[in-house]
Chain A
Amino acid sequence: VVVAFAVAVCTMTVVGTLSLRSLEDMRVETELRNRASQTLVSLGSLLANTLDAETGERGYLLTGSSPFLDPFRSAVANLSRDTAGLAQLAHGDSLLAPDLAAVSSLIGQQLAGLDSAIRMQNEGKVDSVRARVLARNNKSVMDQIRARIATIQITLSAERERRSGQLVATAARTRTIVIVSTALTLALLGLAAIGLASSIRAQARSEQATRDAEARLSAILEQMPVGVLVVDPEGVPQFANRVAKQILGNDVGPESVVDRMPEIYQVHRSGSSEIYPAADLPIARALRGEAVYDAGIDLHSADGVVPVEAWASPVRDQSGKLVLAVAAFSDISERLAAERALKDSERKLQQILDSIPLGITVADHTGTPTFVNAAGRKLLSPDLPPHVAISELSRISRVFVAGTREPYPSERRGITRALRGEASYADDLEVHTPERIVPLEVWSAPVYDSSGNLAMAISAYGDITGRVESERRVRESEQRLQKILDSIPLGITVADPTGTVTFLNEAGRKLLGRSLVEGLPNAQLSETYRVFVRGTDELYPAERRGINRALRGERTYADDLEFRGPERNVPIEIWTAPVYDSLGGLIMTISAYGDISDRLASQRRIEGLTERLSSRVEELAAVNQELESFSYSVAHDLRAPLRAISGFCGMLIEDYSESLDAEGIRLLGVVRDSAIRMGHLIDDLLSLSRLTRARLTPTEVDMTGLAASAAEELLQTFPHGTRPPEIGVLPRAHGDATLLRQVWANLLSNALKYSRNSAEPRVEVGSIDGSPAQGNTVYFVRDNGVGFDMAHADKLFGVFQRLHRTDEFEGTGVGLAIVYRVLTRHGGRIWAESSPGRGATFYFTLPSDPERQ
């Protein structure tokens, strides 16, 4: 194809050259012919103008009218132009030049003549002018001009004919050349076209391959998990992959030029509300040739803020010219969230560690502390440098062996040991702070990573001031306790749960006559401490020993043992009790014991006294018995003679009344009445005594019924027609029915008796409800009898006390005493209100049923 092209081009060049030459020839010929034609025209014009000038002059000359001068003047002007044009045409034409020069000169001569004639006319030289005209001078010059022009015209016409002939020849030659060369060229072009077609096909294939490659590249870029944006040097986007559009949240088109990107996609600096300057965008900087990484970009959208990181770099061609800029960017919100979560988690961990009241130090595998929590910093040193080697830590944090000024050896430190793989505990160290000395306990352990390599060491340590202090206090308290125990006058023995005695106080040592035997088995206690059953030669048996019983959970007391010392035997009483811890586990037994020699002596004394006392009690019982039989005798033996006195007086009065005068009979009556009265006294006295001794059998008592039945029975002993007592409804009471009946009987008897002389005797029985303050029901018996003076009220309830003479109102003075006794025995109360002649009221109360309350 190339060869064909080359041949065709050469051919075309040759043909072209030939054609050009033919055409040049034709052009020169044509030009020459045209110039001849033009010269001919100019000559015609020259002649006409010369004629015009001459005509104009003649008209002026003839008329003297100046308007004839106008054609003259324009002809003159045209002539000068025609002359110059001719000169131009003739320039270089040796053939025409002399003729043309001659014409010009002739014309000049003619014009000069015309001009002078006109001037003469103007000067009035009419004659001269006429002469001139008549001389026909102008005519000869004119003829010469015409001749010359004709000559030239002939020459030129000939020339033009020759040139036309030449032009035809040249045109024919040119046509031939053109036809031949065109044919040749067409042939060559045919060849070239064939070659070109195949070449175009090859190129098409290559372009397809390029397009495929580009498609693959696009697909790859499209599928990349980061956003990819490509812009041309003008900042116009050429490509944006799916992720890029997704992140940008908008389509990317030619209008999204870099300069407008921050605005279109709402690009901000991280955490700022201001739009990102377009010139600072990574892609913009890449366009300026920089390779950029920026993670401080936020894309704001309706859905929120998407943090983005971006890389951008320029793309240059082989010559180093910047042809593209490419940016890759990705949404890092998840990563930031993860980072935040990690930070949160670290912060939380740190907070947790800081909130632990124990100091915590974490050291890396070299032993350099990488973390010390808040408590740790406070404990070790408030201004501990962040990274300090373990070897330095002792010195800086001033850790000493407890109780010394010796720095704690590095190799004994927990971290050091943990780095050797040991877990350790120590409480023999202390930190000296400016304020105080802090005793510490430290736990340390190695920490392994998932592959089992020692990754770090961790130490936890705490201030044990409290513990050390409490241990000291415990020691002191133990010493104090020991002093207290030693000062107790009782012997104290403490045994451990195996029954081995572990403590013996001062008094115990004295009582036993020896000091504590350490670790003595329980079985040998009696033998070693010489404990015997009191009063025998039998060693105190183990199963009865207080310690052994306390170990079974019993609290025991015994006084049947004695310590047999070298000097004397000490009788002992001993209390033993188990001691439990707060969880209920038996931790020890404690025994307290004392010398009971004195007590035994007192006991013997007391026993003697008791014996005497019981004999006295027997005596008293006998006396009581005597009293009983005395009462009995009073009942029987005293009443019998009285009855005899009364009876025999009666017999005397019955059988011997004739022998006695009235005075004798009266005296006998006095004797008999006295005997009867004494009988009543004895009866009442006995009944008082009986009531005092009788056992109370309290029951629920119907007081209304009781009072009514007592009244009914009583009325039998009163004269017929005695007005019965008015008995209201009374609340029930709690008491001994028999005795309470006696109370009603005595009170009613008194009331009936002391009111019998009233105009209208009236006895009333009633009750007053117990007030909340008083509590119990108050029963009363009221009469309208003689009453009594309250001044003597204190004598009312005494035995044999009477406020009235017997001849006024019979009675023994025992009735109210009985009432008083009965009520007092019930826990009740009685009192009376009266005034002489205005009746009397007796009130009494009884306590409620104690069981019912």
Chain B
Amino acid sequence: VTVPSHVEILLVEDSEADAELTTRALRKGRVVNTLHVARDGQEAIDFLAGATELPKVVLLDLKLPKKSGIEVLEWIRNQPRSKVLPVVMLTSSREEPDIARCYALGVNSYIVKPVEFGAFAKAVVDIGLYWMLLNEPAR
């Protein structure tokens, strides 16, 4: 696994199309320079475990192969170093139980992916802007 020297956003997304759409939206919005995409939960955990420096924010899908988004979130919150790492759920599910569970595990934001491309792109850019530029991370 190649570990980029500095990653600002970790995108955990199994859908290639969604990953591409997200990446494109963030790039087009000129929000981010370095972005790493993990294709399943395990990969995300491995990446975070091996990263010398944590990303500024993790965009996490719920439904993932190997380890689900919930498991990944749980893992992140259980690690002392990533305890306060900003995590934004970026998912298709607006199921109430999912939302409640994520917030219970300490997610920072829960975003339902709009189907409409324009809306989706806008949402992603807004997230990026917020977490990358406006948010003051914990030290």
Contact = CB atoms under 8 A, between A and B. Distances in A.
A651 B17 contact: no
B92 A649 contact: no
Contact of B95 (A635, A637, A650): A635
A640 B117 CA distance: 11
A647 interface: yes
A126 interface: no
Most buried by B among A632, A640, A680, A686: A640
B118 A635 contact: no
B17 A647 contact: yes
A644 B62 contact: no
A649 B116 CA distance: 10
B115 A676 contact: yes
Give the contact-size bracket for chain A: 20 to 34
Interface string A693-711: 0100000000000000000
A650 B94 CA distance: 24
A643 B94 contact: no
Interface in A661-699: 672, 675-676, 678-680, 683, 686, 690, 694
B96 interface: yes
A646 B17 CA distance: 11
Given A632-B93, A635-B94, A636-B62, A644 B116 contact: no
Contacts of A635: 92-95
Given A636-B92, A636-B93, A639-B92, A646 B116 contact: yes
Contacts of A679: 114-116
A649 B62 CA distance: 25
Contacts of B115: 639, 642-643, 646, 675-676, 678-680, 683
Interface string A615-656: 000000000000000001001110111111011111100000
Contact of A676 (B94, B116, B121): B116
A643 B95 contact: no
A657 B69 CA distance: 37
A651 B18 CA distance: 13
Contacts of A646: 115-117, 120
* Interface SS majority for chain A: helix
Interface string B9-25: 00000010110010010
A643 B63 CA distance: 16
A643 B17 contact: yes
A513 B19 CA distance: 86
A643 B93 contact: no
Contacts of B17: 640-641, 643-644, 647-648
Contact of A643 (B21, B24, B62): B21
A589 B100 CA distance: 63
Contacts of A694: 96
A683 B113 CA distance: 12
A635 B115 CA distance: 11
A678 B115 CA distance: 9
B60 to A, nearest CB: 14
B42 interface: no
A636 B94 CA distance: 9
A644 B15 contact: yes
Nearest to B24: A651
A560 B121 CA distance: 74
A650 B118 CA distance: 7
Contacts of B96: 690, 694
B82 interface: no
A738 to B, nearest CB: 10
A632 B121 CA distance: 24
Nearest to A635: B93
A672 B120 CA distance: 13
Interface in A585-640: 632, 635-637, 639-640
A703 to B, nearest CB: 24
Contacts of B95: 632, 635, 690
Contacts of A672: 116-117
B92 A647 contact: no
Contacts of A648: 17, 21, 117
Contacts of A641: 17
Contacts of A680: 115
Contact of A649 (B18, B24, B91, B117): B117
A647 B117 contact: yes
A398 to B, nearest CB: 102
Contacts of A647: 17, 21, 117, 120-121
A686 B93 CA distance: 10
Contact of B92 (A640, A675, A678, A690): A640
A636 B63 contact: yes
Interface string B32-59: 0000000000000000000000000000
Contacts of B121: 647, 650
Interface-central residue, B114, B117, B118, by most chain A CB under 10 Å: B117
Given A646-B116, A650-B121, A676-B116, 5 more contacts: A636-B91, A642-B115, A643-B114, A651-B21, A679-B115
Interface of B: 15, 17-18, 21, 24, 62-63, 91-96, 113-118, 120-121
The 4 closest A-B pairs by CB, nearest first: A679-B115, A650-B117, A644-B17, A647-B117
Interface of A: 632, 635-637, 639-644, 646-651, 672, 675-676, 678-680, 683, 686, 690, 694
